[in-house]
A and B are shown apart, each in its own frame.
Chain A
Amino acid sequence: MAALLFAENPRLTPRATGTHLPMSQSPDRNAEAQIIAAILAGNTHLFHELIRPYEHTVFSMAMVLLRNPQDAEDVMQETFLKGLRNLHAYRAEARFSTWLVSIALNEARSSLRRHRPVESLDASDETDRIAPELLRDWREVPSEVLERLEVRNLLRDAVTELPLIYREVFVLRELQELTISESAQALGISPASVKVRLHRARIMLQRRLAPQLRPLAPKRKRFPW
């Protein structure tokens, strides 16, 4: 039965441990619906296979929101347990991944309220214009730089140090690849607010990271003539 999930797209074959799939590339919905029906009919062990493609993205989401691996792991375990316990309440109008992300978001918010009440109240002024970092040119920084720990740390710090309202839209749009309206629904805000926060989050990241990443771009080749 688990093979059904991936039968139509060999690129989505799961690895032995958690895989990272953007939610837009989540397994085939029909196959997923079949496996959910099988779980509800009593084949509960299939839940392991159902959630395997989402382990990494959901963990990343919790890390961005909570900034602490132990809290993120606790929240993620609780998310998947709630997913199992409440699977009967899942309605197929929404993608399974979107449903799972909503549970994760609520769990993360509860954890933040319990551990860091001050941060959950942060509200930056959303009306001020944020100017981007001004550059004369930009040479593509290749993803190979991510092999370096210090670069991964730069990126991690930039994302996790965004104010909470911007981290939330960042995880839903950039990591989970939810649509604007799915993000708005999950956050309980208007689509217009999602767009404003997303824009500000992106500009904040550009402002902070562009000067730091710029030196990592490959040097231009010098020709002898």
Chain B
Amino acid sequence: MVIDCKHVWDNISDFLDDALSSEARMLVQKHLEHCEVCSAILDSTRNILILTADERVFLLPLGYSERLHARLEEEIRPYKH
């Protein structure tokens, strides 16, 4: 059985999550071996997800941690007495 590009696009997310059945995974892999467009789409999606999940994209604001722990300490203090 041969699958077309649109079928591969519909399965990109499950492919990345390793959530396809072994048969479906094999079909996608076979398609990727000869389709440079789908391979590029898969590689770019994987690359983009790694970059967007990087900790540097959303840096903690200056003093955030200190303010958080100071507020927590206000809450914790009464427990100590």
Contacts and interface: CB of A to CB of B under 8 A. Distances in A.
Among B36, B56, B68: residue with most chain A CB under 10 A: B68
B72 A47 contact: yes
A76 B71 CA distance: 11
A132 interface: yes
A132 B55 contact: no
A152 B57 contact: yes
Main secondary structure on chain B at its contact with chain A? Answer: helix
Contact of B49 (A138, A143, A202): A202
B70 to A, nearest CB: 10
B29 interface: no
Contacts of B6: 129
B53 A175 contact: yes
A69 B71 contact: no
A165 to B, nearest CB: 15
Contacts of A174: 49, 52-53
Main secondary structure on chain A at its contact with chain B? Answer: helix
Interface stretch (A55-63, A90-98, A108-116, A117-125): A55-63
Interface in B48-71: 48-58, 60-61, 64-69, 71
Interface string A21-32: 010000000000
Chain A: number of interface residues, binned into ranges: 35 or more
A60 B58 contact: yes
Nearest to A200: B13
Contacts, number: 146
The 10 A-B pairs at the shortest CB distance, nearest first, are namely A199-B13, A20-B55, A135-B40, A60-B58, A138-B40, A17-B65, A138-B43, A44-B79, A138-B44, A206-B45
Interface of B: 6, 9-10, 12-14, 16-17, 19, 36-37, 39-41, 43-45, 47-58, 60-61, 64-69, 71-73, 75-76, 79-80
Given A59-B64, A131-B9, 10 more contacts: A17-B60, A18-B60, A132-B45, A133-B44, A135-B37, A135-B40, A143-B50, A146-B56, A155-B54, A199-B13
20 contacts: A20-B55, A47-B72, A47-B76, A48-B69, A56-B60, A59-B58, A73-B67, A76-B68, A129-B6, A134-B41, A146-B57, A152-B56, A155-B52, A195-B14, A198-B13, A202-B13, A202-B49, A206-B44, A210-B48, A213-B44
